[in-house]
Amino acid sequence: MARSTDAARAPTMADVARVAGVSHQTVSRVLSEHANVSDKTRAQVTEAIKRLGYRRNSAARALATRRTHTLGVIAVNTTLHGPASTLAGVQEAARDRGYLVSAVALRVANQAALTGAMEHLTAWGVEGVIAITPQREAVHALTALQPPCPVVTVEGGHDLDLPGVSLDQSFGARMITEHLLAAGHSTVWHVAGPPDWLESEARTAGWEIALREAGAEVPPLLRGDWSPLSGYHAGQQIAGRVALSPKRRAGLTAVFVANDQMALGVLRALREAGVRTPEDVAVAGFDDIPEAEFFAPPLTTVRQDFAALGRSSIGLLLEHIEGTASGATHLTIAPELIVRASTARRLEPPSFP
């Protein structure tokens, strides 16, 4: 049976106005969240929208307002937990504010890649761009761009003359190092991330500051590439040192690993070598990935509030789009220490194999 023309077409704003018993202009004010609408009228229009299943025509809206209500995101290394979670937080925050998101994921963060991404987003008419740039190379590349719209950096540090939002990586590292010192360890070893990552640099700096302020020895740095395999290799080095004479292994009873996935590799290497966690060597990570509480033992770590990061970055970008921001504002989000069994307080001397 053929459907009638009226039944087949999508409901319009005029249909909403007719069902709600108000004018077309009143419906427009409600949809634009205009303050000059009574609660009763707003409720009538909202109910009519629900009954009809009305959806706004984004193309028509853009033509009428000359705004696309679309934001761009440039993200690097989204296969990793931090950048992927940051991207998810930004996208959710944008949707909550009524904006669409057009995202470009990059494998490398050089000048050519960032320029191409910016040109792509500009062609789609984005009103502003969030640049998730946790690598120093990406930060340097951003400085050479002349974007045609506002840009807010996320995890790009605060060295640029651009508005930016970052989690306080250094503070998180200090918290976890101080936690391990307070648990009775004379010092804390560190498995750092790649040297070109700003987060890795900040976490290493926070670890070292905490040790120096406590008057503790600063052990030689071990390094990984964020992967469990690199953590496993670092864990083998740690286990090898533990197997040395008591004098040479002195102080190696606690390890702060720069992310949870490397910590997973460290835990496996220690377990294979017969080194107990936390009885012989306490292990802590960073990120609080969803699996961290199911590690063996459950992992002490630092939780990053990616939702807050998304809300802050989107809010700051919209301020610049709307012209209400003052200068290149830099915001910092505090992390949270999550204590679990992998760093239980030492009650007895270690019994190394």
Q: Which domain holds residue 74?
A: 68-167+307-330
pLDDT digits (tens, 9 = 90+) for 256-311: 999 999 999 999 999 999 999 999 999 999 999 999 999 999 999 999 999 899 99
Tokens of 316: 């700051």
- Same domain for 146 and 213, yes or no, is no
In terms of domains, do 163 and 311 share one? yes
Residue 90 lies in a domain: yes
Pair 176, 266 in one domain: yes
Q: What is the pLDDT of residues 117-175, one digit of tens each?
A: 999 998 888 999 999 888 888 888 887 888 888 899 998 776 677 789 999 999 999 99
Q: Which helix (H) or strand (E) holds 189?
A: strand 189-192
Check whether residue 148 and residue 265 sit in a common domain. no
Q: Is the pLDDT of residue 353 over 90?
A: no
262 lies in some domain: yes
**What CATH number corresponds to the domain at position 291?**
3.40.50.2300
Per-residue confidence (pLDDT) for residue 35, from 0 to 100: 65
Q: Which of 106, 138, 236, 135 is nearest to 194 (CA)?
A: 135
In a domain, 125, yes or no: yes
Q: What angle do CA 61, 90, 226 make, to 5 degrees?
A: 150
Are residues 272 and 193 part of one domain? yes
- Domain-located, residue 353: no
Tell whether 349 is covered by a domain. no
Same-domain check for residues 250 and 178: yes
Instruction: Give 33-72 as a DSSP string.
Output: T-SSS-HHHHHHHHHHHHHHT----HHHHHHHHS---EEE
Domain total for the chain? 3
Q: Are 294 and 157 in contact (CB under 8 A)?
A: no
pLDDT per position as a tens digit, 35-75: 678 888 989 988 988 888 887 655 455 444 456 789 999 99
281 with 318, same domain? Answer: no
Q: CA 302 to CA 9: how far, in whole Å?
A: 52
Provide the whole-model pTM: 0.78
Return the CATH number at 51. 1.10.260.40
In a domain, 61, yes or no: no
Instruction: Look at residue 350 and tell me if it is in a domain.
Output: no
Residue 64: the pLDDT is: 47
